[in-house]
Amino acid sequence: MMEHLTTSLFLSAFAVCVQAQNVANYQPDANGDGCIGSSDMLSLLSLYGSGDCPPFECGDPLEYQGYEYATVQIGEQCWFAENLKAANYASGAPILTDLEGSDWTSATEGTTAVFGDDSAECNNNSSIGDPCNEDWSLENYGRLYNWYAVVDDRGLCPTGWHVPSASEWQALLESFPSDEDPSIALKEIEAWNYDPGITNSTGFSAVPAGVRCSGSYSNNGFQAWFWSSDEFPTYPSTAFYFIIQGSIGSANVCDEEQPNCLNKHCGTSIRCLQD
């Protein structure tokens, strides 16, 4: 009985890769003897390195905490092509959530929220849906995270990925030719208000998920905010961010040249960048 239980647990954990590649054909009772035992474990181990789990290549989907994310290569960088939705750190520990009003604005530990949940006032500026509906927002916008969640040692992004630094966001902008408008090339085509000519030629698919700062949700429909992992040394209550706005030529990084950075308690979207 103990062997059966232990082997079953091992198989369940080890078979994730095999199942991801060939769910229909995977059988825990590999030898068909009616018992899940050590011989089945050895059969599964024989698949390791057999090619059933090819190495990740940018452009492949990546599953993380129950969600599947598209990925995209832009220049020399590999990005998530969707906003992060994880409610837990990479370690598995839950991120603090459901904070209201002053609890959100005074938090100095990692917090997360979904645009339009019941914890704060919601402003609906979307032309394609109802961001004040929490389920709609999670599906289309992902989650918002304060900066303390970004730098928590338990990690936001999966192993092999990280929240970009300010210089890495700047490198994304500098990967475009001087005559190409990054804001047009990075935006998801249908999600933005008042912005004709969007191409999303990169496949980055930025959506205007807005921001949560003073306890309320705002700016959805025409602004996409993304944290960097760098604080602003001159004003340690703030940190660098990347923003795309609903007008032509409006993608930039808050840095030393543009020091109007964002308070760390604000909640923005997160994009993961491959190490």
Q: What is the pLDDT of residue 158?
A: 97
Report the mean per-residue pLDDT for the chain.
83
Residue 3: pLDDT band (50, 70, 90) is very low
What pLDDT, on the 0 to 100 scale, is given for residue 235? 85
pLDDT digit string (tens) for 209-241?
999 987 788 889 989 999 999 998 888 899 999
Distances (CA, A) of 48 to 16, 52, 54: 11, 8, 11
Per-residue pLDDT, averaged over 41-59, amounts to 69
pLDDT at 216: 82
CA 105 to chain centre: 22
Q: Dump pLDDT digits (tens) for 86-117.
A: 999 999 999 999 898 889 999 999 999 999 88
What pLDDT was estimated at residue 25? 46
Do the Cβ atoms of 164 and 150 come closer than 8 Å?
Answer: no
Which residues lie below 8 Å from residue 118, measured CB to CB, with a gap of 6+?
134
pLDDT-derived band at 45 (thresholds 50, 70, 90) equals low
Q: What is the pLDDT of residue 34?
A: 62
Of residues 255 and 181, the one with the higher pLDDT is: 181
pTM for this predicted structure: 0.80
**Coil, strand or helix: which one is 38?**
helix
How far apart, in Å, are the Cα atoms of 159 and each of 53, 94, 193? 17, 17, 35
Could you read off the pLDDT of 122-161 as tens digits, one per residue?
888 887 888 889 999 999 999 999 999 999 999 999 999 9
Work out the percent of the chain whose per-residue pLDDT is above 70.
Answer: 78
The DSSP output letter for 203 is S
Q: Grade residue 4 by pLDDT with cuts at 50, 70 and 90.
A: very low
Q: Under 8 Å CB-to-CB from 68, ≥6 apart: which residues? A: 61, 62
First vs last C-alpha separation in the chain = 43
Q: Model confidence at 202, in pLDDT bands (50, 70, 90)?
A: very high
Six-digit token string for 243 = 């923003």
CA atoms within 13 A on the CB side of 226: 34
Q: What is the pLDDT of residues 9-40, one digit of tens each?
A: 444 444 344 444 343 344 566 566 666 777 66
Phi, psi of 215 (to 5 degrees): 100, -10
Handedness of CA 164, 140, 144, 239 (dihedral sign): positive
Which of 5 and 176 is assigned the larger pLDDT? 176
Partner residues linked to 251 by β-bridges: 244
